[in-house]
Structure 1
Amino acid sequence: MRLIEIGLDAVLVEVEAAHTLQLADAARRAGWACDVVPGAQSVLLDGVRDRPGALAWLSAWQPQDREAGTELVEIAVRYDGPDLAAVATAWGCRPEQVAERHAAILWEAAFAGFAPGFAYLRPAGGELALPEVPRRRSPRPRVEPGSVAVASAWTGIYPTASPGGWQLIGSTDAVLWSLERPAPSLLPPGTRVRFVVR
């Protein structure tokens, strides 16, 4: 673990990827900051009220077994993406087997980023369940909303139309971000996700 003091009231904690959500949960419960933001291998504590106390607490913090998130969201997917062949090659299977392999994994939202509602999903439990998939050499100038994609060991769903360099394997009608919901994000960090083949 590495602690980096930022400005007057923030601390960035670099931590193993498997421990980010656990540390974020513990920091929220402890009330050290106004905002706690998990990343791929870090947790940002912003608006820290007592930085010496928070630093001492962080230095002593030890990861423990984390209870799995209780929220499970099922997302129906049409596995019709243009990059099925490339992903199949990376996974050592036929294109028609990509859907089965992808949907067999229980995913977990590790952190949010890139665009409102975009959740970086990793296999629940932190274990690498499939071989990594390279990003496209040239990003597409436009990826349609609802596109289900993979890159490296991550899965994500584009919430809005945007450029993108991930490999597209399918599409969904799920609304990832809506200000009309009490919680706008469908997949906040810690949410478990199960993909269902349509």
Structure 2
Amino acid sequence: MKLFDISEYAVMAVFSEQETDVNQLLNCRQQLRQHPAVTEVILGYQSITVYFRIDQSDHASLKQELTVLFSQKKEKPVQGVLHRIPVCYEQAYGIDIEHLSEYHQLTFEQIIRLHTTPTYDVCFLGFSPGFPFLSGLNPELATPRKETPRTHVPTGAVGIAGHQTGIYPASSPGGWQIIGQTPIDLLTLEDTEHPTLLQPGDQLQFYAISSEDYHNIQKKERDSRDH
């Protein structure tokens, strides 16, 4: 673990890939949130950033507390929510699934099976509000990002970049390989306490649906928002 002062009121702990323990990061965040001097704790894939009140603590004290917290192995996992997310993998939605098929010499059916089998961990949210970075992708599906990012990726697009998979909660530019699309809203902005469906520590399972199912679920999502 390496510790850095990143501002007058924040410190960051960075870990190597071998040292990274998602459950330990989550446990650490849980404990730090109870610290009277801590104002915010932000998780990264291999990092944790702690913001604090400079009138109640300092860099040296927070670094010491981080060192102690990470020296204590936490056996009890953080209990998150298990989400089952429907995805339409048909080519109209999985606009890069043919590329993955050629790149890995896999059929569409094999790609779908490999992508829907794991239970993924939500490691952190980033890139854009509510974008979940998910660990647990089958190595057979690991695929480099696109050399030239798209200027527009649709809301709900499910993609792969390297050894990770994730979901675009809103339309934006992006370079992930898009293999499907979900009709489920990941942004719940009307809920000010929980503005995103997924939280770090949650788990996620994908399951395949048809385009007809996609439209039916999308309509229900829109109707529920309108009411």
> TM-score, with normalisation over the residues of structure 1?
0.88
* Range with greater deviation from structure 2 (17-26 or 180-189): 17-26
Identify unmatched segments of 5+ residues in structure 1. Answer: none
User: Residue 35 of structure 1: which of 33, 40, 61 is its match?
Assistant: 40
SS in 1 for 2:21: helix
Deviation, 1:7, is: 2.2
Q: What is aligned with 1:14?
A: 14
Q: Which has the higher contact order (CA 8 A, sep 6+)?
A: 1
Distance 1:165 1:99, change over 3 A: same
Aligned residues of 2:27 and 2:78 also touching (Cα < 8 A): no
Aligned residues of 2:186 and 2:197 also touching (Cα < 8 A): yes
Deviation, 1:21, is: 4.7
2-structure distance, mates of 1:27, 1:148? 27
Deviation, 1:50, is: 2.1
1-structure distance, mates of 2:27, 2:74? 12
Aligned residues of 1:21 and 1:189 also touching (Cα < 8 A): no
Aligned pairs for 1:47-196 within 5 A: 47=52, 49-51=56-58, 52-60=60-68, 61-62=70-71, 63-67=73-77, 69-80=79-90, 81-123=94-136, 129-131=138-140, 132-181=142-191, 182-196=193-207
As a proportion of its length, which structure holds more strand? 1
SS in 2 for 1:196: strand
Aligned residues of 2:114 and 2:138 also touching (Cα < 8 A): no
Cα shift readout 1:7-56 (whole Å, capped 9, x = no counterpart): 22211000245325523432431434211101011110012542333221
Deviation, 1:90, is: 4.4
Q: Which structure has the larger Rg over C-alpha atoms?
A: 2
Identify unmatched segments of 5+ residues in structure 2. Answer: 210-227
Aligned residues of 1:140 and 1:165 also touching (Cα < 8 A): yes
Distance 1:92 1:21, change over 3 A: farther
Q: How many residues align?
A: 194
Aligned residues of 2:40 and 2:52 also touching (Cα < 8 A): yes
Identity score, percent: 31
Deviation, 1:141, is: 1.2
User: Alpha carbon RMSD of aligned pairs, Å?
Assistant: 2.0
As a proportion of its length, which structure holds more helix? 2
SS in 1 for 2:139: coil
